[in-house]
C-alpha cells in the first residue's frame, strides 16, 4: 500500500510539473471570450479543476509516450546503423530468452498501470455529481438547446438557447462576426465557484453538450437522463458545441455559458423570473393583430426558419408554409400540428409558451400569400393543450 501511495505522490508531482511547464505564461492563452484562439495549438485555458487535471494528464501521457517513442526508435535506428552488414557484423542467434520475455511483458504493464491510476481517479471525480449547488436540465433539440433550472437558486427558470448568427453570414452575403456560429440568444447562466450539476437528455436524436474550458462533454440521449458537473473558477463567457452529429444543422447549435459572480447571478435570476411572469400575464390578455404578427415573425425566424425557410417556401423534406394546406386550412388542425408535431416536424408544446405559439400561428396564417385574417389568442392555445 505504501508503494502505491508513493507512486501516486510521484505521479502527482510529475503532473504538476508537466501541467506547470506547459501552462506557464509563455503558453497561457489570453482571454478570448471563450472563443478558440486563432492559430491555437493547445487546449483551451482550463477554468475548472477537472479541466486543469485533464490538461495536465494529457501532457503527462504525451510526455511518457514521447520518451518511449524516442527510446524505441533510438535503439532501433542505432542498431540498424551500427550493426549493418557492410561493417561485417554477423547476426546473433538466440532463442527463447525467458529473462527478455519477462522484462518486455512486465515493464509495459507497469507503465500502463501507472498511467491508468491518475486517469481512473480523474474519471471517478468527473462522475461524482453528488451535492450540487444548482441543477440544470439540458435538453437537446434539432437544433438548439433547452435549459431548465430545476434545483437551487433560480429553480423554475427555463428557456431555449438558439443560434443568432444571421443566415446572410452563413451564406457569404455579409462578412462574418467575431462570434460567428458561436453566439446564442439566451446563454446558460450560472454562478462561479458553485457546483453545477448538468442533467442531459434529448427530445429527438443524440446530441452532446460540450464545453472544452470546463472539461465537460456529455451525450444527450432521447429517453435517457445522464449527468455531469462543473465548478467554474472564473467569471466569463465560455463556448462549446454539440458534438454528436445530429442532422442538417449540427454545426448550428453552439453551447454558450455565462459564468457570473454570485451577486450578479442573483440579479439575473430575479430578472429572468420577472420576464417569465410578464409572459404569464400576457398569456391572459387579448392581443392585437400587429402585436401577434410582430412576435410571431421573431418566433418564426428563431425556431421555424431553419426548416421552413425565412421566405416560407420550405426546402427538401420541409414543406412550404407559404400557400401550404395546413396554414391556410382549419385553424385547430394547424394549432394541433404545431403543438404535437408530425414525423420530422418537432412538437412545440413543451418548448414554446402559449403566447409564442399563438403568435407564430397568427404569423403563418397572415404572412406571404397566406391571408386568412385569423388572429390566434394564447387562450385558444392553452385550451387545445
Ligand atoms: C426540424 C425541422 C422543422 C422545424 C424546426 C419546424 N418544422 Fe414544421 N414541419 C417540418 C416537417 C418535416 C413538416 C412536414 C410534416 C409532415 O407532414 O409529415 C412540417 C410541417 C409543418 C406545417 C404543415 C405544413 C403544411 O402545410 O403541410 C406547419 C404549419 C408547420 N410545420 C409549422 C411549424 C412551426 C410553426 C415551426 C416553428 C415553431 C416549425 N414548423 C418548425 C419540419 C420542421
Ligand atoms: Cu446536436
Mutate to test the pocket of ligand 1, among 163, 298, 304 (most ligand atoms within 8 A of CB): 304
Domains of the chain in sequence order: 2-126 (no CATH), 134-278 (2.60.40.420), 285-384 (1.10.760.10)
Distance 365 CA to ligand 1 centre (A): 13
The SS3 assignment for 286 reads: coil
pLDDT value of position 7: 58
Q: From the alpha carbon of 299, which atom of ligand 1 is closest?
A: 38
Is the separation of the CB atoms in 177 and 294 below 8 Å? no
Distance 224 CA to ligand 2 centre (A): 15
Q: Using one digit for the tens of pLDDT, what is the confidence trace for 344-365?
A: 898 898 888 889 999 999 999 9
Q: Using one digit for the tens of pLDDT, what is the confidence trace for 239-248?
A: 999 999 999 8
Is the separation of the CB atoms in 29 and 44 below 8 Å? yes
Distance 203 CA to ligand 2 centre (A): 11
Between β-strands 236-242 and 207-211, what pairing exists: parallel, antiparallel or unpaired? Answer: antiparallel
Does 17 have pLDDT greater than 60?
A: no
Q: Using one digit for the tens of pLDDT, what is the confidence trace for 288-321?
A: 899 999 999 999 998 899 889 989 999 888 999 9
Which of 10-14, 72-76, 341-345, 353-357 has the highest average model confidence (pLDDT)? 72-76
- Provide CB contacts within 8 A for 323, sequence distance 6+: 368, 369, 370
Does 31 have pLDDT greater than 60?
A: no
Ligand 1, atom 31: nearest CA belongs to which residue? 345
Cα–Cα separations (whole angstroms), residue 217 to 14, 20, 42, 227, 349 = 26, 24, 18, 10, 28
* pTM given for the model: 0.74
Q: From the alpha carbon of 329, which atom of ligand 1 is closest?
A: 26
Q: How confident is the model at residue 74 (pLDDT cuts 50, 70, 90)?
A: very high
Is the separation of the CB atoms in 349 and 335 below 8 Å? no
Q: Is the CB of 327 under 6 A from ligand 1?
A: yes
C-alpha cell at 50: 477537472
pLDDT value of position 13: 58
pLDDT value of position 276: 82
Taking residue 104's Cβ as centre, other Cβ atoms within 10 Å add up to 11
Question: Residue 138: which of 73, 230, 42, 62 has the closest Cα?
Answer: 230
- Provide CB contacts within 8 A for 357, sequence distance 6+: 335, 338, 339, 348, 378, 381
Query: Helical H runs in 171-257?
Result: none
Ligand 1, atom 10: nearest CA belongs to which residue? 345
Q: Is the CB of 307 under 6 A from ligand 1?
A: yes
Q: Is the CB of 156 under 6 A from ligand 1?
A: no
- For the ranges 30-39, 51-60, 242-251, 306-315, the lowest mean pLDDT is seen at 30-39
Q: From the alpha carbon of 306, which atom of ligand 1 is closest?
A: 5
Q: Is the CB of 303 under 6 A from ligand 1?
A: yes
Q: Is the CB of 318 under 6 A from ligand 1?
A: yes
Q: How confident is the model at residue 188 (pLDDT cuts 50, 70, 90)?
A: very high
Strand partners, 236: 259
> What's 374's DSSP letter?
-
Q: From the alpha carbon of 360, which atom of ligand 1 is closest?
A: 35
Q: Is the CB of 346 under 6 A from ligand 1?
A: yes
Is the separation of the CB atoms in 279 and 156 below 8 Å? no
* Cα distance between residue 215 and residue 50, in whole Å: 6
Of the ligands numbered here, which is closest to the C-alpha atom of 305?
1
Amino acid at each position: 500500500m505504501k508503494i502505491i501511495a508513493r507512486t501516486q505522490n510521484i505521479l502527482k508531482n510529475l503532473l504538476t510539473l508537466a501541467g506547470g511547464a506547459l501552462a506557464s505564461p509563455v503558453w497561457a492563452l489570453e482571454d478570448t471570450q471563450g472563443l478558440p484562439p486563432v492559430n491555437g495549438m493547445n487546449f483551451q485555458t482550463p477554468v475548472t479543476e477537472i479541466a486543469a487535471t485533464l490538461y495536465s494528464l494529457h501532457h503527462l501521457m504525451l510526455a511518457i509516450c514521447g520518451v518511449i517513442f524516442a527510446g524505441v526508435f533510438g535503439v532501433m535506428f542505432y542498431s540498424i546503423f551500427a550493426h549493418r552488414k557492410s561493417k561485417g557484423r554477423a547476426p546473433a542467434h538466440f532463442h527463447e530468452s525467458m529473462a527478455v520475455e519477462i522484462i518486455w511483458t512486465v515493464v509495459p504493464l507497469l507503465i500502463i498501470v501507472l498511467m491508468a491510476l491518475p486517469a481512473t481517479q480523474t474519471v471517478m471525480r468527473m462522475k461524482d455529481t453528488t451535492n450540487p449547488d444548482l441543477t440544470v436540465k439540458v435538453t437537446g433539440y434539432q437544433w438548439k438547446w433547452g435549459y431548465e433550472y430545476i434545483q437551487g437558486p433560480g429553480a423554475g427558470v427555463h428557456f431555449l438557447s438558439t443560434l443568432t448568427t444571421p443566415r446572410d453570414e452563413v451564406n457569404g452575403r455579409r462578412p462574418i462576426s467575431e462570434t460567428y456560429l458561436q453566439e446564442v440568444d439566451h446563454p446558460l447562466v450560472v454562478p462561479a465557484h458553485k457546483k453545477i450539476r448538468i442533467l442531459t437528455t434529448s427530445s429527438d436524436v443524440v446530441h452532446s453538450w460540450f464545453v472544452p474550458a470546463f472539461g465537460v462533454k456529455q451525450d444527450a440521449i432521447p429517453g435517457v437522463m445522464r449527468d455531469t458537473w462543473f465548478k467554474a473558477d472564473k467569471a466569463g463567457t465560455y463556448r462549446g458545441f454539440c458534438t454528436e452529429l445530429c442532422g442538417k444543422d449540427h454545426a448550428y447549435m453552439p453551447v454558450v455559458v455565462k459564468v457570473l459572480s454570485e451577486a450578479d447571478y442573483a440579479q439575473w435570476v430575479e430578472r429572468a423570473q420577472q420576464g417569465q411572469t410578464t409572459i404569464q400575464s400576457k398569456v391572459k390578455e387579448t392581443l392585437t393583430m400587429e402585436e401577434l404578427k410582430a412576435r410571431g415573425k421573431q418566433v418564426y425566424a428563431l425556431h421555424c426558419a431553419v426548416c421552413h425557410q425565412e421566405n416560407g417556401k420550405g426546402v427538401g423534406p420541409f414543406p412550404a408554409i407559404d400557400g401550404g394546406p395546413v396554414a391556410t386550412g382549419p385553424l385547430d388542425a394547424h394549432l394541433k400540428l404545431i403543438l404535437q408535431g408530425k414525423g420530422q416536424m418537432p412538437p412545440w408544446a413543451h418548448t414554446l409558451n402559449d403566447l409564442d405559439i399563438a403568435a407564430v400561428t397568427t404569423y403563418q396564417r397572415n404572412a406571404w400569400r397566406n391571408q386568412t385574417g385569423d388572429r390566434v389568442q394564447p387562450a385558444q392555445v392553452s385550451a387545445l393543450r
